[in-house]
Chains A and B, each alone.
Chain A
Amino acid sequence: MAYKTSDKVFDVFINVITLICVILCLFPVLNVVAVSLSSNSAILASKVFVWPVGLNFESYKAIVKDSTMIWSLVYTVIITLAYTVIGMFLTICAAYPLTKKRLKGRNAIMLMIIFTMYFSGGLIPDYMLVKNLHMLDSSWSLILPGVLSAFNLIVLKTFFTTLPESLEESAILDGCNDIGVLFKIVLPLSKPVLATLSLFYAVGKWNSFMDALFYITDTKLYPLQLKLYQIIVNSQTVDASIGDGNISQNLLPESLKAACVVFATLPIVLVYPKLQKYFVSGIMIGAVKG
């Protein structure tokens, strides 16, 4: 087929537009990284765009020296892991039986679950429940209240229905019960979608800020996002260790805040490319019938 000049022009045009979109997406992030790594004089002189000027690691040193920041990171990792594991367990437990047409009461349970996606008690009743369960100022308040997502459940259920039934039938003939079928046949076939949903759970928890703001007052139990909010938006200083030594005198708040942003984003940026190939297909499965 003839490759027309107008087509060539169009291709160049499209590639340029795409590049601009990508640059717009990345520039703000790169700017923050650059500021976190730049020298104070360069920042104050507005010389920093997307490349560090006058390389300087003082902000990161301050963060690493601040034991509360490190603890907050470790604590958030633990919370995120617990949340993801419990969430995935419950999602699998719910999604599999609900794919079985023979199951009595399946539609009623499905309806009950879907209704919660559109109507809820609201903030105060939720808060009261957490309070009455004595989970205020406890890590459980960050894990349990939202641990099972109806959306993820529907995505997984939709995926399960696409698996060939004959495989399950033959396993049952071989003497497997329903739980055996689930673990030996269904789950091994569902790795991509399980990875996707785990990513959704983990990112959701890693990024969540609202529940901590509502339920946690003890600074020792602050997850990373809440701690970050205090530092970045409310301009509280990174803790104790900054007060002493010679680092503090020449540390700019802008540089420190930028370093905190990078510090909290790094784990996601590291995990995300590895899972990318999964979640696109995962979200599409969900989108077909959400």
Chain B
Amino acid sequence: MGKTNTAVSKALPNKISKKGFGYYLNRDKYLYLLLVLPVAYFILFKYVPMYGIVIAFKEYNIFQGVFASPWIGLDAFREVFRSDDFYRALKNTFLLNGFDMIFGFPAPIILAIIINEVKSVRYKRISQTMLYLPHFLSWVIIGGIALQIFAPNFGMIDTIIKSMGFKTIPFLTEKWHWLATYTGIGIWQSAGWGMIIYLAAITGIPSELYEAADVDGAGRLRKIWSITLPAIKPTIIILFILNIGKISMIGFDRPYILGNQQVKDFSDVISTYVYRVGLQSSRYNIATAVGLFQSVVGLVFLSVTNWIANKSGEQGIW
């Protein structure tokens, strides 16, 4: 049995294709040469850290290193799942992403439809340039701007509110107000950039459709409702599905920079929790376990939503 197997596997490559891998390696040697550094990059900086995940299952000791540290099985995970802070971070991750979905998701769609209706090409182009701009500012800068315009007493917003005779609002220091501010700043930063993809979809709509609607006497709103929206529906659906897939993942900069001590009930999310527990308190195994938990949950969410996207006849991400 074993003999025939090896015999077959030796014979097969010769029968099917007369050329071994060495032939292709030689023929495409320059292409392979180009790939050496990038592949080395992915192995060293992406796949080697994946090995570091074992820290989650070890009692990591800085003097012994990853290899020699003793295994502790799932103890780190048990501790994580017993910790209130972890649940708070998990809840907040979903909370902040949920608010971004509900309020932030429609913003670029509405913006794209509005901008598309602008007749003057020049006005359109200038406004687009302005609307993209916040996307290119760092979160530190945005945090600095936010601290300034929302500052109590002489910040711009407070000054306006007071001049209208209302009381000052604790935008950044009370948790529900902070949540609204956080969401609003997110929309401010990303809506303009997000609209690009919808504008692209709108550009692809054949103009005959609009001309036919004109003949039928349709008004502008009617055309938006019956032509533009249905035409960009697939884009909306796919982006919505992909957004759901990313609901358990959250970046570090935005919650960390906008958050503060008074609102940590809402601003402490998984990414900031991992930083606090891992790098600030040096509890490497706990932080790695939380990171692994998030990666796995994220991957599951993404796979399921991508599967749904493919099933619903849309092109998923893979």
Given contacts A97-B35, A120-B46, A178-B30, contact A6 B219 (CB under 8 A): yes
Q: Are B41 and A124 touching (Cβ within 8 A)? A: no
Residues 18-42 of B at the A interface (beta carbon under 8 Å): 21, 24-25, 28, 30-35, 37-39, 41-42
Q: Are A179 and B30 touching (Cβ within 8 A)? A: yes
Given contacts A268-B137, A283-B196, contact A21 B111 (CB under 8 A): yes
Q: Are A121 and B123 touching (Cβ within 8 A)? A: no
Residues 49-66 of A at the B interface (beta carbon under 8 Å): 49
A11 to B219, CA, bound (A): 12
Residues 42-83 of B at the A interface (beta carbon under 8 Å): 42, 44-53, 55, 66
Q: Are A233 and B200 touching (Cβ within 8 A)? A: no
Q: Are A127 and B131 touching (Cβ within 8 A)? A: no
B148 within 8 A of A: yes
Of the listed residues B31, B50, B274, the one surrounded by the most CB atoms of chain A closer than 10 A to its CB is B31
**Total B residues in contact with A, Cβ cutoff 8 Å:** 93
B209 within 8 A of A: no
Q: Nearest CB to that of B154 among chain A residues?
A: A46
Q: Are A214 and B279 touching (Cβ within 8 A)? A: yes
Q: Which residues of B contact A (CB under 8 A)?
A: 21, 24-25, 28, 30-35, 37-39, 41-42, 44-53, 55, 66, 111, 114-115, 117-120, 123, 127-134, 136-141, 143-149, 151, 153-154, 156, 158-159, 188, 192, 196-197, 200, 214, 219-221, 252-253, 256-257, 271, 274-275, 278-279, 284, 287-288, 291-292, 294-295, 298-299, 302, 315, 317-318
13 of the cross-chain contacts (CB-CB < 8 Å) are: A6-B219, A32-B144, A32-B149, A100-B28, A103-B31, A123-B271, A123-B278, A124-B52, A126-B52, A182-B34, A207-B140, A229-B140, A254-B154
Q: Which residues of A contact B (CB under 8 A)?
A: 1, 6-7, 10-11, 14-15, 17-19, 21-22, 24-29, 31-32, 35, 43-46, 48-49, 90-91, 93-94, 96-98, 100, 102-104, 109, 112-114, 116, 118-129, 144-148, 153, 177-179, 182, 203, 206-210, 214, 225-226, 228-229, 232-233, 254, 257-258, 260-261, 264-265, 268-269, 272-273, 276, 280, 283-284, 287, 289-290
Supplied contacts A15-B123, A28-B149, 6 more A-B pairs, CB within 8 Å: A31-B149, A97-B34, A119-B299, A229-B140, A229-B143, A264-B138
* List of 9 A-B pairs having minimum Cβ-Cβ separation, nearest first: A125-B52, A122-B291, A121-B49, A207-B138, A94-B38, A97-B31, A125-B49, A178-B30, A232-B144
